[in-house]
């Protein structure tokens, strides 16, 4: 059973609903990566026309919610201090975007770096949508409400592989997810890279459409058009990519607008060796090991 399809979106699976009275709901805000990101043109409204292949890692921020008289948000974790205004951030906006009846006390453990190309805030908002769906169900226009919060939010609500077009909010299924369970290593040099300047530095050259096929086909034949402008702004990204490629993955690429890069491996053993090698050589870098969903 699924929620009704929304124009331009794929349906969100409907899980068993249960009342939240006296109960706690937990969700993982799965880290988003762009296996491919093709920038086709700059639109008249200032946004960019994109074709991107979203995928998600089986780890990320952790959110819990319990009933409360009024909404409140508590943040902690390694990267909580990077959230400038926890009460005006995207989690708080997601809470106000959806009907829920009584208030929620939300606890956010911020495990993902901020401004890192992992959709961390969008993933948090997506987790809120899934918690509301479990407790109360979502309104039919959930996709539009999610899109108003950010271009990555609808995909992060789904948190499964999909193709995004337009500004990234128009979603379609992938022909075949042949990378489910694939070992993935994320590495970030602990430098924030704001999205706006990277898009502004894009050379406006259309390098062609995203290929078709299975998840693996598109990932291998695709590219990230924001890699070069991001490296120009944050040169250490090139060092991260070089370090990952030296560990012999079958694919290494920057995610989103950076600075996080990812590497995909054929085996868990290869991933473990790569993670240990990079940790030994670059102990200051952040890294996360997981599997693709």
In the chain the beta strands, taken as DSSP E runs, fall at 25-42, 48-68, 72-76, 103-109, 162-166, 170-172, 183-188, 251-254, 261-264, 286-291
- Rounded to whole angstroms, the Cα distance separating 215 from 22 reads 41
- Rounded to whole angstroms, the Cα distance separating 141 from 151 reads 15
- Whether residue 120 is annotated as binding a ligand: the answer is yes
- Whether residue 57 is annotated as binding a ligand: the answer is no
- Whether residue 123 is annotated as binding a ligand: the answer is yes
- Whether residue 187 is annotated as binding a ligand: the answer is no
Within 8 A by CB and 6+ apart from 38, the residues are: 50, 51, 52, 207, 208, 209, 210, 222, 223, 225
The three-state secondary structure class of 33 is strand
- Whether residue 118 is annotated as binding a ligand: the answer is yes
- Rounded to whole angstroms, the Cα distance separating 43 from 10 reads 24
Using a 10 angstrom Cβ sphere, with 0-12 exposed, 13-18 middle and 19 or more buried, the burial of residue 225 is buried
- Rounded to whole angstroms, the Cα distance separating 55 from 170 reads 15
- Whether residue 263 is annotated as binding a ligand: the answer is no
- Rounded to whole angstroms, the Cα distance separating 37 from 173 reads 16
The three-state secondary structure class of 207 is coil
Specify whether the CB–CB gap between 77 and 110 falls below 8 A.
yes
Q: Which one, of 270, 248, 36, 41, lies nearest residue 162 by Cα?
A: 36
Catalytic residues: 32, 152
- Whether residue 8 is annotated as binding a ligand: the answer is no
- Whether residue 122 is annotated as binding a ligand: the answer is yes
- Whether residue 11 is annotated as binding a ligand: the answer is no
- Whether residue 198 is annotated as binding a ligand: the answer is no
For residue 207, how far is the Cα from the chain centroid? Answer: 24
- Whether residue 101 is annotated as binding a ligand: the answer is no
Show binding-site residues: 113-123
Show binding-site residues for ATP: 113-123
């Amino acid at each position: 059973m699924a929620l009704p399809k929304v124009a331009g979106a794929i349906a969100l699976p409907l899980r068993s609903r249960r009342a939240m009275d006296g109960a706690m709901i937990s969700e993982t805000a799965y880290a988003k990566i762009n296996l491919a990101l093709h920038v086709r043109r700059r639109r008249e409204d200032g946004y960019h026309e994109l074709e991107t292949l979203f995928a998600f890692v089986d780890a990320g921020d952790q959110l819990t919610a319990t009933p409360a008289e009024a909404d409140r948000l508590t943040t902690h974790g390694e990267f909580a201090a990077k959230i400038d205004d926890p009460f005006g951030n995207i989690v708080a906006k997601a809470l106000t975007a959806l009907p829920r009846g009584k208030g929620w006390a939300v606890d956010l453990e911020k495990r993902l770096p901020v401004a890192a190309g992992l959709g961390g805030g969008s993933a948090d908002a997506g987790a809120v949508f899934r918690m509301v769906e479990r407790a109360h169900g979502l309104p039919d226009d959930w996709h539009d409400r999610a899109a108003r919060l950010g271009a990555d939010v609808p995909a992060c609500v789904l948190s499964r592989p999909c193709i995004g077009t337009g500004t990234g909010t128009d979603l379609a299924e992938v022909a075949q997810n042949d990378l489910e369970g694939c070992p993935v290593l994320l590495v970030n040099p602990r430098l924030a890279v704001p999205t706006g300047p990277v898009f502004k530095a894009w050379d406006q050259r259309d390098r062609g459409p995203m290929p078709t096929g299975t998840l693996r086909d598109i990932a291998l034949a695709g590219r990230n058009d924001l890699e070069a402008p991001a490296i120009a702004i944050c040169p250490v990204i090139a060092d991260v990519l070089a370090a990952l490629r030296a560990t012999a993955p079958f694919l290494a690429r920057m995610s989103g607008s950076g600075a996080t890069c990812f590497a995909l491996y054929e085996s868990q053993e290869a991933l473990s060796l790569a993670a240990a090698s990079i940790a030994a050589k670059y102990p200051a870098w952040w890294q996360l090991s997981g599997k693709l969903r």
